[in-house]
Amino acid sequence: MALDLSPQEASNIGTELQPRRSVIELRDVSKHYKDAGAPIVDRLTLSISEGEFVALTGPSGCGKTTTLKMINRLIEPSSGQIIINGQDVGDLPSHRLRQGIGYVIQNVGLFPHMTIADNVAAVPRLLGWKKDRMTPRIDELLSMVGLEPSIYRDRYPRELSGGQAQRVGVARALAADPPILLMDEPFAAVDPITRTSLQDEFLRLQQSIRKTIVFVTHDMAEAMRLADRVVIFGPQSKIAQVGAPTEVLSAPADAFVASMLGSGRLMQLLSCVRLRDVSLDRWPTLAQGLEGDERLAALSSAKIEGKNRVLVLDEAKRPLYWIYSDATGESSKVEVDCKLELDATSLRDAITQIVYCSHDCAVVVDGDGAFQGIINIQGIRRSLAPLAGAGTSAANIGVDK
């Protein structure tokens, strides 16, 4: 990644480079149908690591759904090999293979004649679970996807909204705790507002369950928002680009990928990059309780750096307020009105906050509220410059030519 990295972050990336166990491996996989000339999937090789969230995306007919369905053998590949946990998928009876892989589809496909509880219990029942193990698991899963078990357990699918049905679809896929989850356009059939909240919830859920996920979507923005790695299928069923969302957004491999990303690229990039990924600016600080000379000294050394205020921190390094010095040497307190969290805030959110904040910069804190640095518009531009690629200014990368 072409981002400015602190030494600590760089060492994190070092550990990430350790080869993680590959869970799903596609080796030279092709699929062609007799009546069609060109193959729908053409010699695809892809390795997916444990706990990784991979999105397959591209225009319709590019082979992304076919690829997904070859993993659980709903479609048999014409040639090539698919390996899951070191075992060829063809070695198992297909229904056994599928019982070990969670599957969520666009139209949800809940069984309308079964209650919500029975729908969720479908796979455990196939695996022969006992009732005393099944009932608590159903309640656990319903709570996990945000549906109160006592209300929804005995309802039927037709009594649910689209968003609720999709939650049940996710719960059903997770019921037997499969290590792998295949999702085929799972959020495409719901309205945009529900979709966003489902995506957020699903990301939060994934934080705790850490499944290996293969996710098909035609919506580039969705892929960028959710996945750790994005596989973009191009024309002629070839892979056009594979990479982390920030990599793809900052350096599209070719004109095709750039056109798929569209003109909202800069905003998408800003949404993908979090404050923890960029270098923050320092700012003079002052411990709470220091008065008189020490305060004056801090203010004057700040002035030498060209800064008209210092940030006062409490003993846990939490920002309290600004102290300004004016021309007469008097100082005044001003509340900190813009505090951003290092891990949770994207650059896009940061820009919005900074625009409304009264100090043209935002104070950045970590999860415990301790001061980490400040970020302002110049800082954001600076961190975007390497992302924008050689010879392009940050302001230009979103513009199609």
Partner 1 sequence: MSGFLQYLHYGYQTLLSESLSHVLIVVVAMLVSFVVAAMLGLLAYRRAWLAEPLLSITSTALTLPSLALFGLMIPIFGLGFVPTLIVLVIYAVMPILRNLITGLNSISPAILEAATGIGMTRTRRLFVVEVPLAWPIIVTGLRFSSMMVVGVAAVGAYVGGPGLGATLFNGLAEVGSRSAVPEVLSATIMILLIAIALDGLFWLISRLTVSPGIR
Strand-pair category, 339-341 with 361-365: parallel
Q: What distance in Å separates the CA atoms of residue 366 and residue 351, rounded to the nearest whole number?
A: 18
Q: Which of 59, 81, 70 is nearest to 214 (CA)?
A: 70
Residue of 66, 67, 106, 250 interacting with partner 1 (CB under 8 A): 106
What HEC string does 26-75 produce? EEEEEECCCCCCCCCEEEEEEEEECCCEEEEECCCCCCHHHHHHHHCCCC
Q: Does 115 bind partner 1 (CB under 8 A)?
A: yes
Cβ proximity to partner 1: between 113 and 131 the closer is: 113
Residue of 172, 195, 211, 309 interacting with partner 1 (CB under 8 A): 172
Binding mask 62-101 for partner 1 (x = CB under 8 A): ----------x-x--------------------xxxxxx-
End-to-end distance of the chain based on CA atoms, in angstroms? 25
H or E element in which residue 220 lies:
helix 220-226
Q: Does 351 bind partner 1 (CB under 8 A)?
A: no
Q: Are 48 and 22 in contact (CB under 8 A)?
A: yes
Provide, rounded to whole angstroms, the least separation between the CB of residue 126 and partner 1. Answer: 5
Cβ proximity to partner 1: between 101 and 258 the closer is: 101
Phi-psi region of 178 (alpha: psi -120 to 50; beta: other; left: phi over 0): beta
Q: What distance in Å separates the CA atoms of residue 392 and residue 401, rounded to the nearest whole number?
A: 12
Residue of 26, 54, 56, 108 interacting with partner 1 (CB under 8 A): 108
Residue of 110, 138, 180, 362 interacting with partner 1 (CB under 8 A): 110
Cβ proximity to partner 1: between 172 and 276 the closer is: 172
Provide, rounded to whole angstroms, the least separation between the CB of residue 167 and partner 1. Answer: 15
Provide, rounded to whole angstroms, the least separation between the CB of residue 150 and partner 1. Answer: 19
Residue of 2, 114, 205, 209 interacting with partner 1 (CB under 8 A): 114
Q: Does 347 bind partner 1 (CB under 8 A)?
A: no
Q: Does 105 bind partner 1 (CB under 8 A)?
A: yes
Q: Does 158 bind partner 1 (CB under 8 A)?
A: yes
Provide, rounded to whole angstroms, the least separation between the CB of residue 220 and partner 1. Answer: 24
Provide, rounded to whole angstroms, the least separation between the CB of residue 239 and partner 1. Answer: 24
- Which amino acid is residue 143, in one-letter code? S
Q: Which of 227, 235, 237 is nearest to 257 (CA)?
A: 235
Q: Which of 244, 246, 260 is nearest to 383 (CA)?
A: 246
Residue of 141, 165, 173, 347 interacting with partner 1 (CB under 8 A): 173
Instruction: Tally the C-alpha atoms within 13 A of residue 394's C-alpha that lie toward its C-beta.
Output: 14
Q: What distance in Å separates the CA atoms of residue 57 and residue 186, rounded to the nearest whole number?
A: 13
Residue of 112, 128, 289, 391 interacting with partner 1 (CB under 8 A): 112
Q: What distance in Å separates the CA atoms of residue 279 and residue 277, rounded to the nearest whole number?
A: 7
Binding mask 116-155 for partner 1 (x = CB under 8 A): ------xx--x-----------------------------
Provide, rounded to whole angstroms, the least separation between the CB of residue 112 and partner 1. Answer: 5
Q: Are 116 and 157 in contact (CB under 8 A)?
A: yes
Provide, rounded to whole angstroms, the least separation between the CB of residue 98 and partner 1. Answer: 4
3-class secondary structure, 377: helix
Contact set with partner 1 (CB under 8 A): 72, 74, 95-100, 103, 105-115, 122-123, 126, 156-158, 172-173
